[in-house]
Structure 1
Amino acid sequence: MSRPKAPKTLRFQPAGGESKSLPVGKKQVLSIERLAHDGRGIAFLDGRTWFVSGALPGEQVQAQVLAARSKVVEAQTVAIQTSSPERITPECQWAGQCGGCTLQHISHAQQISMKQANLAEQLSREGVTPVAWAEPLVGPAFAYRRRARIALRYDVRQKHVEVGFRGLASNAIVEVKNCVILVADLQPVFAGLSALFNGFKQPQGLGEVELFSGRSNALLLRYTQALHEDDLQQLRAYCAEHQVQLWLQGKGQPQADQAGQTLSYSLTQFALDITYQPGDFVQVNAQMNEAMIAQALEWLAPQADQRVLDLFCGLGNFALPLAKYVDQVIAVEGVDSMLVRARANAAAHQLNNVQFYHSDLTQPLHDKEWAKSAFAAALLDPPREGAQVVVERLAKLKVPRILYVSCNPATLARDAALLTARGYRLQKAGILDMFAQTGHTEAMALFVKK
């Protein structure tokens, strides 16, 4: 793997005004005072705030600079001089190098508490407090991830294919040999990839691999050059050995290697199978996804005579379960290809009471016919940017109950403030343990019109 010729240097002005350089790679001893929202340790030195991956409050660590800007420095722990009694030994030997899991040195219970506190703080900053806090919805600490993207890079000098995950704040590939957060049936598939690709005759055109677990497991290989026929046969044999479907993607869309192959996941308690394609959004934690849907329905308390709106509906993950409880579901999505599969999923289950619409939900919605009707309730599961335009429209429609699922507590808090300013009460809120061992927080909030 090639290395940069010289360390990148960023300039800053310390408190005294004298210019100093702070190169990437510089090491500094720091005393950690508290945790940031994403689980990084926070330290203060020479007028700068340091965010240090792998550090805990009360610890003294040696940290290495990853990036610096203005008065903020991002760093990672390279040595622990004084350890916190709260520190635990990570399950994964690559923890601290791989950028995937950054919280394995923190107990699962403490991770839950940290994320709940993050949600509470973000809401408080916007002047919003729920009437009641829900108990965290907790899932497995490990072996939960049913989908993973694996990086590949051919090192010409070493004539070696690097297989693994991107490093912490880096494009470098950490050659992880096994991944403890992958579901059990994907772990042996992942573990054999390095030997597989290093046995290829022409590995120069390899792009990346994506693994999927569901009713059928699958491996998608993306490539930039056509595969050598011997390599393709070797790949097919590998997939047959591990009983996974093979999908291939060159310049166009992903294609199944054999006719009739489909990707799908089950929502067992709702007797549903959701089909999808590589590239579609699918929640990576199957157990928590189903628990999340069940809690959303419990909080919304849908009735048989009601009309309910599902925004950012995707493949129908919420819309199809909802359709089994209400008179009509209006489901809206901004990605055409996902709507095609959502309609097919509804038809396959003879759920004729769901109507799907295509709309860009970041743009004003006053001219949309579906947005002019009355609804008993609305459910939305937006991306990290939140749903400012959507909640404005829902407030104007005076929808009595709004269930908001969020993967970013900061934008949830912003939108919560908007709703409470327009006559809604935050009835209930809590976190969902969708991404254990990572700094990401999933949350759910129920708003009720006063």
Structure 2
Amino acid sequence: MSRKARKRARRHAFGVTEITDLASNARGVGHVDGKAVFVADTLPGEQVLFQPVKVRRDYEEADMVTLFSAATNRVTPECAHFGLCGGCALQHASPDAQLRFKQGQLVSALSRVGHVQAERELAPLVGARWGYRRRARLGVKYVPKKGGTLVGFRERGKPFIAELSRCEVLVPSVGTRLRDLAHMIDRLTIRERIPQIEVAAADNRVALVFRVLDEPSAADREVLAAFGTEYDFAIYLQPGNERTIAPLEGTAEPLYYTLPDFDARLYFLPNDFVQIHAGVNEAMVAAAIGHLDLQIEDTVLELFAGLGNFSVPLARSAGRVVTVEGEDGLVERARDNARANDCANIEAHVDNLFEPAAAPAWMPERVDKVLIDPPRSGAAEVMPLIAASGASRIVYCSCHPATLARDADTLVNQHGYRLVAAGVMDMFPHTAHIESMAVFER
């Protein structure tokens, strides 16, 4: 039998395994004849019947067919589409089990990748577990065979848009109206030329940005406007790149969110990056400010500063805040937000932090504290600059444990910092995505 034939036969076979761990993508890990089997929607301690869906030399990916024994921390998923939709991976695990998984992944990455161990574990930062997601990109596809337009996330492991009636993690004003959105798009002449919708939920309004590959007709615009009025959505169109985003009609009301603990109101555009979970974001900002132990004479350096999510709170307690961000539009918003919040002690700079100069012009002569919130790729390029600044304390907010661990290795094992604390932030409940915070001291 050829190798391909053996693979085909194996995909039609069944097996039984006991799940002993969770992989980084939240699939259960079992073993059969010494070969790893990753089974979706399973938990450690469970025994399952599985069917392989992908067969490789060293491992298999599989779907669960029968659950013989359930773990004590298994719960019933809240969403009727769990398993079909690729948006969530852990709805079958209790909240405590999800947090233990994420903390375990963080500790493992720090040890395995960074060769470091935190002196203490930070309590997890948590918030609402449902209806929390205020930013999302929804796929759109007109599929006549399925009755019309589909609006939602991709199917798990597939490129197709899942047929969803609602989404339990999206803000309810959008998550409960996926079918209303779909039926509205069905009425448009350009229904086959709308590939996606960006959702941006502010404190004052929910914005929907429709990517349009063709110009909407006058009748289309009337339908879109009526839909926005009926459900109180601010409707935007995006005919080209992000710079082409504009309100459907006239001038839109500025979007904003607040950080009540710091008397801050931050304005943003529908395509700007803001943290997904409003409640966890508030907790994250407060925790970061607390860990920095700011004094009124401190000069704080903030890197990857965005539109001012941390900057304004930092400026409430520090004497001087120097921020750096690579996207000029976000820096413009950061300066506007500093003015709107009466923070004259914020200096916002534009620079590419992935290719910093050896002695950048924005670097203050004295740096007391550093706050860094980089993208998934981390901040390897600026680690030497941070270390050379002489900052006594660094707070690093991360959206990927492996790159945090790599950068922690640099700070601790090359530049003499201590990793005094680290813990997870549950910014994306029910998913395998892990956000974390680490505190370093010289």
Match of 1:234 in 2: 223
Q: Hey, what's the Cα distance between the residues in 1 that align with 2:62 and 2:365? A: 51
Match of 1:53 in 2: 40
Specify the SS of the correspondent of 1:21.
Answer: helix
Measure how far apart 1:47 and its partner are. Answer: 5.3
Specify the SS of the correspondent of 1:447.
Answer: strand
Please say if residues 47 and 71 of structure 1, whose CA atoms lie closer than 8 Å, have aligned partners that are also in contact. Answer: no
Match of 2:160 in 1: 172
Q: Hey, what's the Cα distance between the residues in 1 that align with 2:291 and 2:187? A: 53
**Superposed, which structure 2 residues align to 1:213-362 within 5 Å?**
213-214=201-202, 215-252=204-241, 253-257=244-248, 258-362=250-354
Residue type at the aligned position of 2:418:
R
Match of 2:178 in 1: 190
**How many residues align structurally?**
434
Measure how far apart 1:157 and its partner are. Answer: 5.3
- Which of residues 426, 435, 438 is equivalent to 2:428? 435
Whether 1:142 aligns to 2:130 is yes
Measure how far apart 1:408 and its partner are. Answer: 1.0
Match of 1:6 in 2: none
Match of 2:437 in 1: 444
Specify the SS of the correspondent of 2:362.
Answer: helix
Q: Hey, what's the Cα distance between the residues in 1 that align with 2:287 and 2:9? A: 48
Residues 351, 410 of structure 1: CA spacing in aligned structure 2 closer, same or farther, 3 A cutoff? same
- Which of residues 44, 48, 73 is equivalent to 2:31? 44
Please say if residues 186 and 213 of structure 1, whose CA atoms lie closer than 8 Å, have aligned partners that are also in contact. Answer: no
Measure how far apart 1:82 and its partner are. Answer: 4.1
Residue type at the aligned position of 2:238:
Q
Residue type at the aligned position of 2:109:
Q
- Which of residues 385, 401, 421 is equivalent to 2:393? 401
Please say if residues 42 and 52 of structure 1, whose CA atoms lie closer than 8 Å, have aligned partners that are also in contact. Answer: yes
Please say if residues 430 and 444 of structure 1, whose CA atoms lie closer than 8 Å, have aligned partners that are also in contact. Answer: yes
Please say if residues 146 and 286 of structure 1, whose CA atoms lie closer than 8 Å, have aligned partners that are also in contact. Answer: yes
Measure how far apart 1:159 and its partner are. Answer: 6.3
Residue type at the aligned position of 1:102:
A
Specify the SS of the correspondent of 1:371.
Answer: coil
Residue type at the aligned position of 2:216:
L
Measure how far apart 1:322 and its partner are. Answer: 0.5
Q: Hey, what's the Cα distance between the residues in 1 that align with 2:132 and 2:57? A: 38
Specify the SS of the correspondent of 2:153.
Answer: strand
What percentage of aligned pairs have identical amino acids?
36
Residues 359, 24 of structure 1: CA spacing in aligned structure 2 closer, same or farther, 3 A cutoff? farther
Match of 1:410 in 2: 402
225-234 or 174-183: which moved more? Answer: 225-234
Please say if residues 308 and 378 of structure 1, whose CA atoms lie closer than 8 Å, have aligned partners that are also in contact. Answer: yes
Please say if residues 24 and 67 of structure 1, whose CA atoms lie closer than 8 Å, have aligned partners that are also in contact. Answer: no
Residues 79, 279 of structure 1: CA spacing in aligned structure 2 closer, same or farther, 3 A cutoff? farther
Measure how far apart 1:56 and its partner are. Answer: 1.5
Q: Hey, what's the Cα distance between the residues in 2 that align with 1:98 and 1:396? A: 46
Please say if residues 28 and 41 of structure 2, whose CA atoms lie closer than 8 Å, have aligned partners that are also in contact. Answer: yes
Measure how far apart 1:350 and its partner are. Answer: 2.5
Runs of 4+ aligned residues of structure 1 deviating over 6 Å after TM superposition are: none
Measure how far apart 1:158 and its partner are. Answer: 5.5
Residue type at the aligned position of 2:71:
S
Residues 74, 331 of structure 1: CA spacing in aligned structure 2 closer, same or farther, 3 A cutoff? farther
List alignment gaps of at least 5 residues for structure 1: 1-9, 13-18
133-142 or 64-73: which moved more? Answer: 64-73
Residue type at the aligned position of 2:233:
V
- Which of residues 159, 175, 195 is equivalent to 1:207? 195
Residues 309, 64 of structure 1: CA spacing in aligned structure 2 closer, same or farther, 3 A cutoff? farther
- Which of residues 357, 371, 376 is equivalent to 2:363? 371
Q: Hey, what's the Cα distance between the residues in 2 that align with 1:270 and 1:73? A: 50
Residues 22, 42 of structure 1: CA spacing in aligned structure 2 closer, same or farther, 3 A cutoff? farther
328-337 or 176-185: which moved more? Answer: 176-185
Match of 1:16 in 2: none
Specify the SS of the correspondent of 2:317.
Answer: coil
Q: Hey, what's the Cα distance between the residues in 2 that align with 1:191 and 1:301? A: 48
Measure how far apart 1:404 and its partner are. Answer: 0.4
Q: Hey, what's the Cα distance between the residues in 1 that align with 2:226 and 2:15? A: 51
Q: Hey, what's the Cα distance between the residues in 2 that align with 1:24 and 1:95? A: 26
Specify the SS of the correspondent of 2:295.
Answer: coil
Match of 2:76 in 1: 89
Measure how far apart 1:134 and its partner are. Answer: 1.6
Q: Hey, what's the Cα distance between the residues in 2 that align with 1:79 and 1:361? A: 50
Q: Hey, what's the Cα distance between the residues in 2 that align with 1:50 and 1:270? A: 48
Match of 1:419 in 2: 411
Instruction: Give the alignment's Cα RMSD to 1 decimal.
Output: 2.3
Measure how far apart 1:110 and its partner are. Answer: 0.9
Residues 397, 191 of structure 1: CA spacing in aligned structure 2 closer, same or farther, 3 A cutoff? same
1:236-269 deviation digits (Å, cap 9, x = unpaired)? 1111011111111112421112314322211122
Specify the SS of the correspondent of 2:363.
Answer: helix
Q: Hey, what's the Cα distance between the residues in 1 that align with 2:216 and 2:50? A: 43
- Which of residues 76, 99, 103 is equivalent to 1:116? 103
Please say if residues 85 and 153 of structure 2, whose CA atoms lie closer than 8 Å, have aligned partners that are also in contact. Answer: yes
Please say if residues 234 and 252 of structure 2, whose CA atoms lie closer than 8 Å, have aligned partners that are also in contact. Answer: no
Match of 1:4 in 2: none
Measure how far apart 1:380 and its partner are. Answer: 0.2
211-220 or 71-80: which moved more? Answer: 71-80
1:221-244 deviation digits (Å, cap 9, x = unpaired)? 111112232222111111101111
Residues 448, 77 of structure 1: CA spacing in aligned structure 2 closer, same or farther, 3 A cutoff? same
Measure how far apart 1:53 and its partner are. Answer: 2.1
Please say if residues 205 and 227 of structure 1, whose CA atoms lie closer than 8 Å, have aligned partners that are also in contact. Answer: no
Measure how far apart 1:65 and its partner are. Answer: 4.7
35-44 or 90-99: which moved more? Answer: 35-44
Residue type at the aligned position of 1:297:
I
Q: Hey, what's the Cα distance between the residues in 2 that align with 1:404 and 1:265? A: 23
Q: Hey, what's the Cα distance between the residues in 2 that align with 1:68 and 1:337? A: 46
- Which of residues 368, 383, 397 is equivalent to 2:375? 383
